[in-house]
């Protein structure tokens, strides 16, 4: 990483890259953590032979293959409070759901941290851009559209 | 079929899809969706829901690599994410309204186009004589990187900001609608419209994919399209497969077998179009 190679880059490129690199490693940790939670959910599911929600297997498989509307609240949790409550109660589908939510939140954390480092750069324009992206992500997580 | 057997089959196919996706430079999501809908007979909404979370996993897991190589243009990526995330939200919303048949047709067309683009992928050249636009200068989008193949530092200027931004919105829309990374469209926007060097376009696109996917994944989750029984084995499988495939990639680059796979993929894509029209997908 010699200065020569990046010589004519904007002056702020070096610290920017270093911070972004740290954020990227944090991202990798986020992905591995999510994968671990999903794996725990799968193993718990296999062990208990129960989704934690009705109906139980094996009718469920046919339901999955036939209908889309099976995804109602009785089948698996689709909102943050329900996922958290279910995971606390050690319901396998809720634990898997928690892993999925962690995975979805991982890039959101990256964008939130990016706001910080554009702040450190005193780059108001890009702080604004990044905040906009963050707002869109938060909107999609809580809007309930669709 | 036993639920457990089905679960293992889902995992196995996802490993293969992930490896193949990395090998072809297309990503695992674009391959697993046809596998789940055409072969396993799953509802396409579930296939897309499982795919979108896999896209987050593979792109975020690899993000550090893209930054370390210093080719990624972080400002360009962040600026364009404003377009891709808003497009993705709209796409995810539209996907909830469209019937599965229509999604299958659109998916097939997009996949055919992407596979064909990769098939005739051209030389990695650096555009010369590009005069950066005033808007790009004001946004500080121009950049430079060290190219080891050329053994020199490459300075580049960005132009066509409005067109590139618009194309990125469409790339985001497609990503949200079909649950894929839509890297091919992101590259078109940066490479063809904004005239960034292909290496910069590719790495910056990869860098953006996770954030774009997160914008639509939230909507898919709330809608109940991310089914635990389907998404769990698919995410873990694609993650494992992609890691393996990235190592294979270096050995098989430019090999004839890659072209064969891509032609097969075009045929599968047309199958999705046909099945959508015939109404035999859910």
Query: Once rounded to an integer, what is the mean pLDDT over residues B22-32?
Result: 83
Rounded distance between C-alpha atoms, residue B40 and residue B106, angstroms: 19
Instruction: Tell me whether residues B211 and A110 touch, CB distance under 8 A.
Output: yes
Asked whether B44 and B281 are in contact (CB, 8 A), the reply is yes
Inter-chain residue contact A103 with B53, CB threshold 8 Å: yes
Whole-number Å distance between alpha carbons of B61 and A28: 5
Cα–Cα distance for residue pair B16/B39, rounded to 1 Å: 14
Query: What is the structure's pLDDT at A8?
Result: 41
With CB atoms and an 8 Å threshold, state whether A76 touches B282. Answer: no
Predicted confidence (pLDDT) at residue A64 exceeds the cutoff of 50: yes
**Which DSSP string do the residues of A98-137 spell out, in sequence order?**
HHHHHHHHHHHHHHHHHHHHHHHTT-HHHHHHHHHHHHHH
How far is it, in rounded angstroms, from Cα B149 to Cα A81? Answer: 52
- Closest CB to A38 among B78, B143, B232: B232
Q: Is residue A47 less than 8 Å (CB to CB) from chain B?
A: no
How far is A38 from B107, CA to CA, in rounded Å? 28
What average pLDDT does the structure give for chain B? 87
Q: Is the pLDDT of residue B121 over 90?
A: no
Quick one: average pLDDT of A18-25?
A: 77
pLDDT of residue A9: 43
* Residue B228 C-beta-side C-alpha neighbours within 13 Å: 34
Q: Give the model confidence (pLDDT) of B126-170 as tens digits.
A: 777 788 999 999 999 999 988 877 788 889 999 999 999 999 999
With 0-12 / 13-18 / 19 or more C-beta atoms within 10 angstroms meaning exposed / middle / buried, residue A25 is middle
CB A109 within 8 A of CB A131: no
Listed residue (B146, B184, B131) closest to B24, CA to CA: B184
pTM: 0.88
How far apart are the C-alpha atoms of B43 and B37, rounded to whole Å? 6
B2, pLDDT greater than 80? no
Domain map (residue ranges) of chain A: 13-142
Q: Is A87 on the interface with B (CB under 8 A)?
A: no
B171-190 residues labelled b (16+ CB within 10 A) or e (exposed) = bbbbbbbbbbbbbbbbbbbb
Q: What is the ipTM of this complex?
A: 0.90
Query: DSSP letter at A56?
Result: P
Shortest Cα–Cα distance, A88 to chain B (Å): 17
The residue-averaged pLDDT of B233-249 equals: 86
Q: How many Cβ contacts (< 8 angstroms) between chains A and B? A: 208
Predicted pLDDT of residue A11: 46
Residue, of B215 and B59, whose pLDDT is higher: B215
Query: Looking at residue B64, what is its pLDDT?
Result: 60
Domain locations along chain B: 3-278
Instruction: Looking at the complex, report in whole angstroms how far the Cα of residue A129 sits from the nearest Cα belonging to chain B.
Output: 6
Q: How far is it, in rounded angstroms, from Cα B86 to Cα A34?
A: 25
Average pLDDT over residues A23-51: 89
Q: Exposure string (b/e) for B29-41, b if CB count within 10 Å is 16 or more?
A: bbbbbbbbbbebe
Question: What is the per-residue pLDDT for A129?
Answer: 97
pLDDT tens-digit readout, A82-112 = 899 999 999 999 999 999 999 999 999 989 9
pLDDT of A7 reads: 39
pLDDT at A5: 40
Q: Which of B230, B232, B246 should one mutate to test binding to chain A, selecting the residue with the greatest count of A CBs within 10 A?
A: B232
CA dist., res. B12 & res. B18, Å (int): 10
């Amino acid at each position: 990483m010699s200065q020569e190679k990046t010589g004519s880059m904007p002056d702020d490129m070096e610290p920017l890259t270093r911070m972004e690199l740290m954020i990227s490693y944090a991202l990798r940790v986020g992905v591995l953590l999510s994968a671990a939670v999903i794996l725990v959910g799968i193993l718990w599911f296999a062990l208990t032979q129960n989704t934690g929600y009705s109906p139980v297997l094996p009718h469920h498989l046919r339901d999955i293959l036939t209908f889309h509307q099976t995804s109602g609240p009785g089948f698996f949790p689709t909102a943050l409070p329900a996922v958290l409550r279910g995971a606390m109660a050690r319901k396998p589908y809720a634990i898997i759901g928690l892993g999925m939510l962690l995975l979805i939140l991982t890039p959101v954390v990256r964008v939130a941290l990016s706001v910080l480092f554009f702040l450190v750069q005193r780059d108001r324009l890009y702080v604004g851009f990044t905040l906009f992206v963050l707002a869109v992500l938060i909107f999609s997580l809580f809007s309930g559209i669709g | 079929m036993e639920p457990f057997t089905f679960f293992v089959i889902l995992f196995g196919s996802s490993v293969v899809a992930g490896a193949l996706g990395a090998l072809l430079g297309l990503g695992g999501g674009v391959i697993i969706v046809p596998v789940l809908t055409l072969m396993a007979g799953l509802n396409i909404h579930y296939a897309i829901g499982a795919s979108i979370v896999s896209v987050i996993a593979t792109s975020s897991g690899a993000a550090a690599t893209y930054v370390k190589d210093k080719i990624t243009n972080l400002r360009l990526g962040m600026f364009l994410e404003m377009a891709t995330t808003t497009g993705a939200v709209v796409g995810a919303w539209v996907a909830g309204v469209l019937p599965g048949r229509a999604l299958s047709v659109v998916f097939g067309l997009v996949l055919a186009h992407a596979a064909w683009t990769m098939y005739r992928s051209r030389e990695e050249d650096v555009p010369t004589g590009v005069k950066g636009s005033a808007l790009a200068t004001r946004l500080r989008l121009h950049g430079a990187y060290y190219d080891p193949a050329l053994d020199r530092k490459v300075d580049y200027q960005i132009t066509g900001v409005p067109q590139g931004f618009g194309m990125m919105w469409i790339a985001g829309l497609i990503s949200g609608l079909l649950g894929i990374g839509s890297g091919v469209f992101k590259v078109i926007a940066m490479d063809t419209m904004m005239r960034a060097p292909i290496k910069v376009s590719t790495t910056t696109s990869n860098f953006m994919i996770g954030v774009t996917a997160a914008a639509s994944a939230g909507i898919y989750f709330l809608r109940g399209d991310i089914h635990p029984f389907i998404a769990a084995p698919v995410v873990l499988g694609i993650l494992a497969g992609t890691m393996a495939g990235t190592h294979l990639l270096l050995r098989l680059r430019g090999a004839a077998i890659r072209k064969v796979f891509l032609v097969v993929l075009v045929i599968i894509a047309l199958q999705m179009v046909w099945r959508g029209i015939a109404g035999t997908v859910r």
